[in-house]
């Protein structure tokens, strides 16, 4: 069943939803990346909640004009307008009052959403009878998706992607260093506005599939996921698009494969699963990589200190050090160093002396800064330099009896 769904074999509606969701996921992931890099991820929360009154008002207007009231394009237009007003309020509050951005986000989000609910109850009491679809915008409803709806979603998503391709460089610059961007003659406020406009477009397009509460997840989670895998911004953008697309596709397929699996939440959960995997297993930034790095570092320190102790004929009691020395064949079971152990220990002690000289010599300042107690001196100095230092240390001296 799941394979059928993944291969788009589950009928017309499921295929339509899967394709639409994938397009949405890709454009949301890519748009969200810039938002995330700009450290304004939660602005999307305000934008998405601010769409609700627009949906309601658009419905009322269309009914008043004698129309169907459920025309998706009309509803989306209304939601875009009210999201735009919400965004404007958000910007006005942060710029012209002392409120911080998070307070402004919360204020816009709750007030617009509350007002939207008032309008929804008005629609209910009007008894128009066909308003059932409007609640679907809260959590998304893909069951009755039509070809036209899919076209609207595909068109919106494609337009957003095109705009991003055109504006990727200024947007990246603003995200990382707004002052520099301003110095280069880029209007930061205009780019910010464009970024928010894109977020708004993606939100509006995604209302039908995942609903206004969960579209935030599609904007934030893929970007955070992608950030784990690379340090290059263009790759983060691409990976976020892939992560969003995969999550949306798999989520849509999963939800089509069994009853009672609402599309929006499933997509979000799949997206979170990708995030969790990245958090744990990503190279370099992942938790597992960090743990491995820590263990490797710990072993290096213990081994080095153990060797120095062997060289100075001190007794070693620390169990981890003992275990490491034995495992490397440097120490016998009875605690006596092996031939190899003696050699490595002598080398370690000699390196320590070399380092001490390097660090006391002003002319080796740059090399001395690399000292951390673990680094091999050969990786810092050339063979010639080491030989020079060795002449300072000198050979073995006579020991007085």
**Contacting range for other proteins; rule: CB under 8 A; set: 86-94, 308-316, 342-350, 373-381:** 86-94
Query: Which residue number, 272 or 371, has a Cβ lying nearer to other proteins?
Result: 272
Number of residues that bind other proteins (CB under 8 A): 63
CA distances from 96 to 18, 92, 100, 104, 187 (A): 43, 6, 11, 11, 19
Least separation, in Å, of the C-beta of 101 and other proteins? 9
Least separation, in Å, of the C-beta of 174 and other proteins? 16
Query: Which residue number, 2 or 287, has a Cβ lying nearer to other proteins?
Result: 287
Q: Kindly state the tokens that stand for 380.
A: 């810092």
Residue 110 binds other proteins, judged by CB under 8 A: yes
Residue 293 binds other proteins, judged by CB under 8 A: no
Q: Kindly state the tokens that stand for 332.
A: 């016998």
- Binder to other proteins among 64, 165, 179, 260 (CB under 8 A)? 260
Least separation, in Å, of the C-beta of 401 and other proteins? 60
Least separation, in Å, of the C-beta of 271 and other proteins? 8
For the window 31-70, what string marks contact with other proteins as x by the rule CB under 8 A?
Answer: -----x--xxxx-xx-------------------------
Q: Contact residues for other proteins (CB under 8 A)?
A: 36, 39-42, 44-45, 89, 92-93, 96-100, 102-107, 109-118, 120-122, 125, 135, 138-139, 213-214, 216-217, 220-221, 223-224, 227-228, 260-262, 264-266, 268-269, 271-272, 275, 279, 285, 287, 290
């Amino acid at each position: 069943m799941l394979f059928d769904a993944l291969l788009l074999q589950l009928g017309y509606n499921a295929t339509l939803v899967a394709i639409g969701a994938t397009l949405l996921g890709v454009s949301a992931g890519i748009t969200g990346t810039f938002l995330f890099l700009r450290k304004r991820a939660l602005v999307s929360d305000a934008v998405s909640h601010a769409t609700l009154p627009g949906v309601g008002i658009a419905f009322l207007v269309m009914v008043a004009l004698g129309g169907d009231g459920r025309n998706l394009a009309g509803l989306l237009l209304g939601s875009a307008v009210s999201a735009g007003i919400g965004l404007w309020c958000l910007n006005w509050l942060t710029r012209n009052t002392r409120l911080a951005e998070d307070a402004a986000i919360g204020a816009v989000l709750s007030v617009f959403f509350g007002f939207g609910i008032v309008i929804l109850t008005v629609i209910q009491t009007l008894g128009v009878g066909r308003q059932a679809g409007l609640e679907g915008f809260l959590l998304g409803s893909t069951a009755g998706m039509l070809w036209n709806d899919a076209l609207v979603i595909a068109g919106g998503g494609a337009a957003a992607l095109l705009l991003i391709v055109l504006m990727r460089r200024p947007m990246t610059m603003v995200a990382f260093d707004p002052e520099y961007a301003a110095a280069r003659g880029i209007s930061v406020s205009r780019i910010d506005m464009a970024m928010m406009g894109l977020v708004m477009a993606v939100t509006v397009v995604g209302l039908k599939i995942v609903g206004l509460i969960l579209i935030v997840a599609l904007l934030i989670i893929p970007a955070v996921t992608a950030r784990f895998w690379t340090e290059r911004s263009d790759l983060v953008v691409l990976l976020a698009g892939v992560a969003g697309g995969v999550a949306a596709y798999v989520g849509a397929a999963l939800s089509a494969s069994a009853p009672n699996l609402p599309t929006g939440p499933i997509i979000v959960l799949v997206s979170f699963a990708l995030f969790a995997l990245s958090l744990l297993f990503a190279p370099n930034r992942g938790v597992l990589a960090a743990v491995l790095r820590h263990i490797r570092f710990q072993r290096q320190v213990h081994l080095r200190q153990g060797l120095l102790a062997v060289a100075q004929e001190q007794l070693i009691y620390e169990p981890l050090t003992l275990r490491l020395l034995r495992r490397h064949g440097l120490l016998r079971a009875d605690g006596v160093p092996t031939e190899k152990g003696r050699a490595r220990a002598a080398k370690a002690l000699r390196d320590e002396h070399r380092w001490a000289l390097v660090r006391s010599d002003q002319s080796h300042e740059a090399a001395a800064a690399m000292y951390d107690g673990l680094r091999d001196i050969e990786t810092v100095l050339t063979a010639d330099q080491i030989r020079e230092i060795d002449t300072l240390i000198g050979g073995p001296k006579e020991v007085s009896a």
